[in-house]
Protein backbone atom coordinates (compact mmCIF):
# COMPACT_ATOMS: atom_id res chain seq x y z
CA UNK A 1 0.00 0.00 0.00
CA UNK A 2 1.16 3.49 -0.79
CA UNK A 3 1.84 5.94 1.98
CA UNK A 4 0.10 9.27 1.80
CA UNK A 5 2.61 12.04 1.13
CA UNK A 6 2.40 15.20 3.17
CA UNK A 7 3.53 18.55 1.89
CA UNK A 8 6.31 20.09 3.91
CA UNK A 9 6.78 23.83 3.95
CA UNK A 10 10.13 25.13 2.81
CA UNK A 11 11.63 27.69 5.23
CA UNK A 12 12.97 29.63 2.22
CA UNK A 13 9.49 29.84 0.69
CA UNK A 14 7.07 31.60 3.06
CA UNK A 15 3.44 30.53 3.32
CA UNK A 16 2.06 33.89 2.20
CA UNK A 17 4.38 34.23 -0.82
CA UNK A 18 1.78 34.33 -3.62
CA UNK A 19 -0.53 36.93 -2.05
CA UNK A 20 2.47 39.24 -1.61
CA UNK A 21 3.60 38.70 -5.20
CA UNK A 22 0.07 39.33 -6.55
CA UNK A 23 -0.25 42.50 -4.45
CA UNK A 24 3.11 43.83 -5.61
CA UNK A 25 2.34 42.99 -9.24
CA UNK A 26 -1.06 44.73 -9.00
CA UNK A 27 0.50 47.83 -7.47
CA UNK A 28 3.17 47.87 -10.18
CA UNK A 29 0.57 47.49 -12.93
CA UNK A 30 -1.49 50.34 -11.42
CA UNK A 31 1.55 52.64 -11.22
CA UNK A 32 2.49 51.74 -14.80
CA UNK A 33 -1.05 52.56 -15.95
CA UNK A 34 -1.02 55.91 -14.13
CA UNK A 35 2.36 56.84 -15.63
CA UNK A 36 1.49 55.87 -19.22
CA UNK A 37 -2.22 56.50 -19.75
CA UNK A 38 -3.02 59.91 -21.25
CA UNK A 39 -6.37 60.25 -19.42
CA UNK A 40 -5.41 58.60 -16.13
CA UNK A 41 -5.51 61.93 -14.27
CA UNK A 42 -9.17 62.48 -15.10
CA UNK A 43 -10.05 58.85 -14.37
CA UNK A 44 -8.27 58.91 -11.00
CA UNK A 45 -10.07 62.09 -10.02
CA UNK A 46 -13.46 60.75 -11.16
CA UNK A 47 -13.31 57.35 -9.46
CA UNK A 48 -10.81 57.71 -6.62
CA UNK A 49 -9.97 61.20 -5.46
CA UNK A 50 -13.33 62.97 -5.83
CA UNK A 51 -15.35 60.31 -3.96
CA UNK A 52 -12.84 60.40 -1.09
CA UNK A 53 -12.98 64.20 -0.97
CA UNK A 54 -16.81 64.11 -1.05
CA UNK A 55 -16.83 61.57 1.78
CA UNK A 56 -14.53 63.76 3.87
CA UNK A 57 -16.43 66.91 2.96
CA UNK A 58 -13.36 68.84 1.87
CA UNK A 59 -14.22 69.29 -1.79
Higher pLDDT, residue 10 or 37: 37
Q: What is the pLDDT of residue 7?
A: 63
pTM to 2 decimal places: 0.56
Q: What is the pLDDT of residue 13?
A: 72
Q: Could you tell me the sign of the dihedral formed by the alpha carbons of 28, 29, 35, 39, in that order?
A: negative
Higher pLDDT, residue 6 or 46: 46
Q: What percent of the chain has pLDDT over 70?
A: 86
Q: What is the pLDDT of residue 54?
A: 92
Neighbours of 26 (CB within 10 A): 10
Q: What is the pLDDT of residue 2?
A: 65
Amino acid sequence: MKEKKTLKSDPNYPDNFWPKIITLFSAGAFIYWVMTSPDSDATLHTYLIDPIQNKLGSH
